[in-house]
């Protein structure tokens, strides 16, 4: 057991699966010799050879389409889309191909593929390197959408995703690759070193899909968050002095509804936090589920703290990013009603 960053944990998961299963292949733009722009595949081509880990042309539709064909053959490809913002040319292949192959062929063909993509903001990436398109995947039946918030989960969820026989969209919040960023961009960067969730086993283990984690038990309000927003919410609760119960969804869809419902029934209040734009965002689905299942336990309106309904701006990043101040205000509003 040692400390790993999220990048190292992801690399460890890929390393383990490449080693254990000859059917696992890893490919995408710059992932081969160079090891990926975020270094998640560093050293893997040297270890497993060019037919297992290789570069792809800059064609996301080609990357996803080829992965589906490999999956139909019987491989378990792990494809990297360099930034989630570049996913759109591959979206048709994800929606019309990967997500429905099992269904439309009644199980004759399947696409057990994992599509990794760095997402989210906080790196001055502007509109083309900051997006959080999770709702475009959670809306598609047949897909699993996963987003880890820490190195331990990143490794366990990625192994579970690769071993899963369904197509999995694996979203990696790039701002927390190297540390648990809490939204205080003005403060020094905090690395993963020493963080309990950065203690990652070198061995094979899984974090089950469809299972949420309670990051911080509390009684005043339930916070539903995932990815970077887990750490922002934790800072917000601490700074606002609100005894929030913070649930890290981990698997966005299909999701662990039981953990959510149990918590909201206990606290009677709910704040949903995500970086993505607000309208028709995944928070809308979460709010609907909470009111369907917990209506008579609710003591305050459900709050959503999200990115604004604008493209992700560059110079105005911190006005856009839903940081601890905005989350803290929502926590207070939800608990003061």
Partner 1 sequence: MTPYPPLKLHVPEPPARPGQETDFSYLRIASAGTVRQPPIDSRPTQTTDIADAMVRVLDDEGRAVGSWDPHAAPELLRTGLIAMLKTRVFDARMLTAQRQKKISFYMQSLGEEAIGIGQAMALAPDDMCFPTYRQQGILIARGYPLVDMMCQLFSNDHDPVLGRQMPVMYTSKRHGFYSIAGNLGNQYIQAVGWAMASAIKGDTRIASAWIGDGSTAEPDFHNALTFAAVYRAPVILNIVNNQWAISSFQGIAGGEVATFAARGLGNGIVALRADGNDFLAVLSVSRWAAERAHRGFGPTLIEWITYRAGAHSTADDPSKYRPANDWARFPLGDPVSRLQKHLIRIGAWSDEEHTRAQKQVEEEVIAAQKTAESYGTLLSGHVHNASTMFDDVYKEMPAHLKRQREQLGA
Catalytic residues: 129
In whole angstroms, how close is the CB of 110 to partner 1 at the nearest point?
8
Please say which residue, 250 or 269, places its beta carbon nearer to partner 1: 250
Candidates 70, 72, 102; CA nearest to 166 is 102
20 binds partner 1 (CB under 8 A): no
Please check whether residue 246 is in contact with residue 223, taking contact to mean a CB–CB distance below 8 angstroms. Answer: yes
Count Cβ atoms below 10 Å from residue 215 Cβ, excluding itself.
Answer: 21
**Binding letters toward partner 1, positions 239-268, x by CB under 8 A:** ---------------x--x-----------
Q: Which residues between 56 and 75 bind partner 1 (CB under 8 A)?
A: 56-57, 59, 61-62, 65-75
**Which of 28, 32, 35, 97 is in the footprint of partner 1 by CB under 8 A?**
97
Q: What number of chain residues touch partner 1 (CB under 8 A)?
A: 45
Torsion, Cα 227 231 232 237, to 10 degrees, reads 130
**Binding letters toward partner 1, positions 204-223, x by CB under 8 A:** ------x-------------
Q: Classify residue 327 as exposed, middle or buried by CB count within 10 Å of its CB (0-12, 13-18, 19+).
A: buried
Please say which residue, 25 or 302, places its beta carbon nearer to partner 1: 25
Q: How many CA atoms lie within 13 A of 93 on its CB side?
A: 21
52 binds partner 1 (CB under 8 A): yes
196 binds partner 1 (CB under 8 A): no
Residue range at the interface with partner 1 (CB under 8 A); choices 34-42, 87-95, 307-315, 325-333 = 87-95
Helix (H, G, I), strand (E, B) or coil at 260: helix
334 binds partner 1 (CB under 8 A): no
Candidates 67, 71, 95, 69; CA nearest to 81 is 67
Residue 63's alpha-carbon distances to 37, 42, 67, 94, 115, in angstroms, are 16, 19, 6, 10, 9
Please check whether residue 174 is in contact with residue 118, taking contact to mean a CB–CB distance below 8 angstroms. Answer: yes
- Interface residues with partner 1 (CB under 8 A)? 25, 51-52, 56-57, 59, 61-62, 65-75, 77, 89, 92-93, 96-97, 100-110, 141-142, 144, 164-166, 210, 254, 257
């Amino acid at each position: 057991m040692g400390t790993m960053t999220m990048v190292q944990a992801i690399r460890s998961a890929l390393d383990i699966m490449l080693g254990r299963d000859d059917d696992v292949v890893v490919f995408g733009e710059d992932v081969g010799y160079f090891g990926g722009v975020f270094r998640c595949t560093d050293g893997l081509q040297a270890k497993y050879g060019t037919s297992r880990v290789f570069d792809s042309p800059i064609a996301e539709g080609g990357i996803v389409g080829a992965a589906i064909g490999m999956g139909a053959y019987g491989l378990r490809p792990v494809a990297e889309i360099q930034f989630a913002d570049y996913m759109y040319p591959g979206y048709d292949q994800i929606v019309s191909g990967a997500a429905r192959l099992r269904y439309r062929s009644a199980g004759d063909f399947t696409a057990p593929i994992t599509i990794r993509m760095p997402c989210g903001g906080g790196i001055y990436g502007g509109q083309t390197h900051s997006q959080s398109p999770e709702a475009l995947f959670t809306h598609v039946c047949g897909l699993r959408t996963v987003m880890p918030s820490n190195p331990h989960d990143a490794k366990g969820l990625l192994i579970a995703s690769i071993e899963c026989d369904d197509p999995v969209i694996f979203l990696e919040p790039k701002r927390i690759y190297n540390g648990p960023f809490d939204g205080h961009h003005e403060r020094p960067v905090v690395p993963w070193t020493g963080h309990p969730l950065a203690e990652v086993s070198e061995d094979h283990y899984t974090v089950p899909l469809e299972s949420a984690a309670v990051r911080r038990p509390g009684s005043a309000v339930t916070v539903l968050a995932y990815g970077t927003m887990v750490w922002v919410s934790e800072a917000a609760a601490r700074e606002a002095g609100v005894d929030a119960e913070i649930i890290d969804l981990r698997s966005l869809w299909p999701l662990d509804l039981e953990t959510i419902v149990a918590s909201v029934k206990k606290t009677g209040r709910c704040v949903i936090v995500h970086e993505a734009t607000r309208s028709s965002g995944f928070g809308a689905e979460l709010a609907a589920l909470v009111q369907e299942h917990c209506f008579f336990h609710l003591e305050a309106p459900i709050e959503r703290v999200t990115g604004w309904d604008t493209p992700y701006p560059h110079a105005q990043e911190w006005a856009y990013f839903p940081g601890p101040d905005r989350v803290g205000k929502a926590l207070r509003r939800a608990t003061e009603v």
